[in-house]
Amino acid sequence: MKLRCAVLDDYQSVASTAADWSPVAGEVDVVCFADHCASEDELVTRLSEFDIVVTLRERVPFPATLIERLPRLRLIVASGMRNASIDYAAAERHGVTVCGTASTATPPVELTWALLLGLARGIVTEADALRDGGPWQSTVGADLYGRRLGILGLGKIGSRVAAVGLAFGMDVVAWSANLTQDRADEVGVGLAASKEELMETSDFVSVHLVLGERTQGLLGAKELGLMKPGSYLVNTSRAAIVDQDALLDVLRRGAIAGAGVDVFDVEPLPAGHPMRSAPRLLATPHLGYVSQANYAAYYGHAVEDIRAYLDGAPVRRLG
């Protein structure tokens, strides 16, 4: 009898065409779901008859309470090689193998700059006005050249964002709890003396940190209150790094010029969520990793992971 594989949250209905699933077709029935299950009970109902689950990024948490309610589950394939939403110890206890896939930093770097440039030049406002018969030019763009770009986190993504900022002729500085002068010199940027100095002096602030105990709520009301009235914040990392209520407050008061956000405390974002109507906000539905090349890597490696598991030699194991 064939195994059954559920591909979760395939919002764009592309999982079946982004990769060649024929290597496992003879042994696995693949079912793709375009909608999102918002509760654990819904997930149990959906997944109870599946042996394999393919999940994108951290869209669906797999805590111990869920894993223990899915006795048929044998393999989880998660995109990327790091996923904080899976309880690996619980998976091991219940005999569930967890595997990852390749991922590239390029798409989130590109989206970061799409948001930053969109904010700086009022792209959405002007494009909407042009289409809807509104005023011919209503905004005055913010220059990048010579302005300060403050980057929180100088890892794989942050360093590439920095390189683009330098190409624009920006004064780029960075900070994180473990950032050293040697690393800043390697990337060719300044090292901010503190998080507070970065927030106070930057015209644009971009967040590129991993969410953890030290970074949860790293930017709260105090930190956002240090930003210049004409400055902009961009977050393509994780929503919980920035206090969401504090961000809404500064946007509503006009305490900063604007924010570009690709990540939210609840995803998909509910219809009535205040982030959907906040002023001075350019928001996208977590598109940071959503690109043709990344999807080809995610789903292509998912097929490889499933094939390797079927052959008794799992690859790219996580946990």
For residue 271, the model assigns a pLDDT of 94
For residue 45, the model assigns a pLDDT of 98
For residue 57, the model assigns a pLDDT of 85
Tens digits of residue pLDDT in 164-181: 999 999 999 999 999 999
For residue 1, the model assigns a pLDDT of 87
Q: What is the mean pLDDT of residues 65-76?
A: 98
Nearest to 296 by CA among 10, 27, 20, 6: 20
Share of the chain above pLDDT 90, in %: 97
For residue 90, the model assigns a pLDDT of 98
Tens digits of residue pLDDT in 105-136: 999 999 999 999 999 999 999 999 999 999 99
Is residue 236 within 8 Å of 211, Cβ to Cβ?
no
Q: Is residue 4 among the annotated active site residues?
A: no
Q: Extract the tokens encoding 208.
A: 């590129």
Q: What is the mean pLDDT of residues 9-28?
A: 97
For residue 8, the model assigns a pLDDT of 97
For residue 91, the model assigns a pLDDT of 98
Per-residue pLDDT band at 40 (split at 50, 70, 90) = very high
Catalytic residue among 110, 121, 267, 273: 267
Share of the chain above pLDDT 70, in %: 100
Is residue 153 within 8 Å of 237, Cβ to Cβ?
yes
Residue 234: φ, ψ to 5°: -125, 130
Tens digits of residue pLDDT in 267-309: 999 999 999 999 999 999 999 999 999 999 999 999 999 999 9
For residue 179, the model assigns a pLDDT of 98
Whole-angstrom Cα distance, residue 32 to residue 54? Answer: 9
Cβ atoms within 10 Å of 39's Cβ, excluding its own? 8
pTM, rounded to two decimals: 0.93
Cis upstream peptide for 229 (omega within 30°): no
Is residue 180 within 8 Å of 174, Cβ to Cβ?
no
Is residue 103 within 8 Å of 83, Cβ to Cβ?
no
Q: What is the mean pLDDT of residues 191-216?
A: 97
Whole-angstrom Cα distance, residue 33 to residue 267? Answer: 16
Catalytic residue among 148, 238, 301, 304: 238
Mean pLDDT taken over the chain: 97
Cβ neighbours for 30, distance < 8 A, ≥ 6 positions apart: 5, 7, 16, 21, 24
* End-to-end CA separation in angstroms for the chain: 29
Q: Is residue 286 among the annotated active site residues?
A: yes
Catalytic residue among 208, 286, 301, 304: 286
For residue 58, the model assigns a pLDDT of 87
Whole-angstrom Cα distance, residue 244 to residue 140? Answer: 28
pLDDT for residue 157 is more than 90: yes
